[in-house]
A and B are shown apart, each in its own frame.
Chain A
Amino acid sequence: MKNHDDKIDEMLENLSPPDAALPAAKAMLRRELLNSSHFKPKPPVRVFRKYALISVPVLGVFLLMVVLKFTQGEMSAMARLEYLESTYYKSFISDTVHYLKARFSETVKTEGHVVVEQWRYGADKVRILLKYQESQKIVGHLILKGKQAFLWLDEDSEAKILVTGKQGEDCTEKDDNTEEVTNNAYSTMVVPVENIPAGKPGIKQVVVIISKDSIDLFGFATSDPAKIFSRLKASPDLAYAGTDTLTDSRGKRRLEMFERKTSQDLRAFLVEYNEELEKDLEVLVEKLLKQRIEFHSQSGDNLNRDGTDAEIYADKGGFEIEKIDVVETTKVDKDTGMISSIIQQAYRRGKPMAKHELTFLKEQFLVYEPGIFDENRFQLKELRPGQLQGTGAAK
């Protein structure tokens, strides 16, 4: 063997290993995999013959137990969710445009509810349309194509509240043993509290909900039911919350409910301030999002004066902040696996304070047409890199 000097690093860095590709073998393997029994539905006769060997009473009891568990609530939340998810995917049609229509719970004076429509094709084409449900007036229009983004936004619209979601920066989390860099995006929703206690003229209250995969406009643009399922499955505190029924244009539907509560990924703050400070609220919300801090609610004094940037800002700015509870409920159609709604309800000492809800109205698979994602057709303007973030302040 030749003697090598100490430049082994250099040898490895500059090495061009062989490709030695085997395209015919690759094609054969692909064919075998796609034609494997994994994807073939078993003919009923063969299934019958196979299971006829199993003791029928044993099988019958087993199936009965599964049904009973599902109906009596003994099946775990995760098992239920996975079952619904697999039901949902059975409706998928590949190589089509996935269309979703949803409605935000917030209403805008004289305009009513805001609806959002989403068209998604493959991994890199998304179109989001935000408009008033009654008048059909367009408030916002967004197209994402690969790394390009095109946007039109009605800056004067009061529906701007629904585009206030700010995407948090990448967060680095460390503990004592490992250093991990997580690429989690957090967003905020700012929801007005409607019934402010009497005796507080000129005082406004809002609830700031900070969550991963927010359901504001920009959160919705990068999300879809598949991602929502994935997020729920990754929630360590996911709980089954029973059933509900809904009667709409599609008839009476049975819904399964899943909950997650205040956690690292979902938290809410009650913010009280004089209405003259409205313009400063956005800065406070940004600081809350950036730090995802913990507030300690103490009677008479909600702020730790040696605290974080957001706490200091709130103290100087005349804002009162209190950490409150939030429960997010996702309702899923039991028969189709389609997501019916996502509700984020904030509570203060058990009393409901504010609610933000996204109701899914329609879901379809459409034939692809390039015009669906044509920014020129809708006269949208291209955004600069990094400009794709929520703008505006709560109204």
Chain B
Amino acid sequence: MDDNRLLVERARTDPHAFGLLFDRHHDDIYKYILHRTANAELARDLTSETFYKALNKLWTFRWQNVPFLAWLYRIASNEVNGFYRKHKNYKNVPLEDIMENSGSEYRHLKEELEGAKEEINNNLLFMELQQAVSCLGNKYQEVVTLRFFEHKKVKEVAEILNKSEGTVKSLLHRALKQLKEIMEAPPKEGESL
């Protein structure tokens, strides 16, 4: 019995119910976006977009053997893909340019972000792999991130991406092949990790 069903129905009008859905699924979505982008600040913003879109589109959600979390993952994926489509030359904007309010809450948010950035940058293996993964096409990034960074099973990945398990396996195989080529290629002049 999928206990999210009743909660999703209630969440359309009951903020308490939506809050419960948020509590259940926020961390999964945030981590997925973080692992796609390797940028805590961007992940925070796109997670926010994901949940606002989910709230506005909740009335359109239909139970058809697809879990609610899979639907959220799809929205999140679309947000990430859409962001990079629009911001091909995206660079990090310094925190100081964004944080206008110097109140204690924002100071706390700033410290939190700094801590998250440090944690990401200290995970060298993740940074190396993520940078290689980010060179792949979107559909390959999705399967690799879900399968290896989110540790989802092939069946779960297929459910989230609305593809067959065979297709997911095929995409993973091709993605890994491309990753190997990327990581074994000699570095371009001036490029470093």
Binding site for B on A (CB under 8 A): 1, 3-4, 6, 8-9, 11-13, 15-26, 28-30, 32-36, 38-39, 85-86, 89-90, 92, 94-95, 122-124, 178-183, 222, 224, 226-227, 229-230, 233-234
Contact = CB atoms under 8 A, between A and B. Distances in A.
Nearest to B117: A20
Given A11-B125, A94-B16, A20 B120 contact: yes
Given A17-B149, A20-B40, A227 B5 contact: yes
Interface in B154-193: 155, 164-166, 176, 179-180, 183-187, 191-193
B99 interface: no
A4 B193 CA distance: 14
Contact of A19 (B7, B119, B148, B191): B119
Interface in B1-16: 1, 3, 5-7, 9-10, 12-16
B51 to A, nearest CB: 6
Given A1-B183, A11-B129, A33-B52, A25 B64 contact: no
A89 B112 contact: no
Interface stretch (B26-34, B71-79, B84-92): B26-34
Given A18-B126, A22-B113, A182-B65, 5 more contacts: A23-B112, A30-B23, A34-B18, A38-B55, A38-B56
Given A1-B187, A8-B176, A17 B126 contact: yes
Interface in B115-160: 115-117, 119-120, 122-123, 125-126, 129-130, 144, 148-149, 155
20 contacts: A1-B185, A1-B192, A3-B184, A11-B125, A20-B117, A21-B27, A22-B40, A24-B112, A28-B105, A29-B48, A30-B19, A89-B12, A94-B10, A94-B14, A122-B3, A123-B6, A123-B7, A180-B164, A226-B6, A226-B9
Which 8 residue pairs spanning A and B have beta carbons closest together? A123-B3, A20-B116, A12-B148, A34-B15, A39-B15, A1-B187, A18-B123, A17-B149
A24 B109 contact: yes
Interface residues of B, number: 70
A200 B135 CA distance: 77
Interface of B: 1, 3, 5-7, 9-10, 12-19, 22-23, 26-27, 30-31, 34-35, 40, 43-44, 47-48, 51-52, 55-56, 62-65, 105, 108-109, 112-113, 115-117, 119-120, 122-123, 125-126, 129-130, 144, 148-149, 155, 164-166, 176, 179-180, 183-187, 191-193
B31 A28 contact: no
A315 B3 CA distance: 43
Contact of B22 (A9, A30, A182, A229): A30
B62 A234 contact: yes
Contacts of B3: 122-124
Contacts of B116: 18, 20-22
Nearest to A26: B26
State the main secondary structure of chain B at its contact with A: helix
Contacts of B19: 30, 33-34
A24 B56 contact: no
A18 B3 CA distance: 29
B63 A92 contact: no
A15 B9 contact: no
Nearest to A183: B65
Given A17-B31, A38-B56, A25 B14 contact: no
Nearest to A39: B15
B62 A29 contact: no
Nearest to B191: A1
Contacts of A1: 183, 185-187, 191-193
Given A6-B180, A22-B116, A36 B12 contact: no
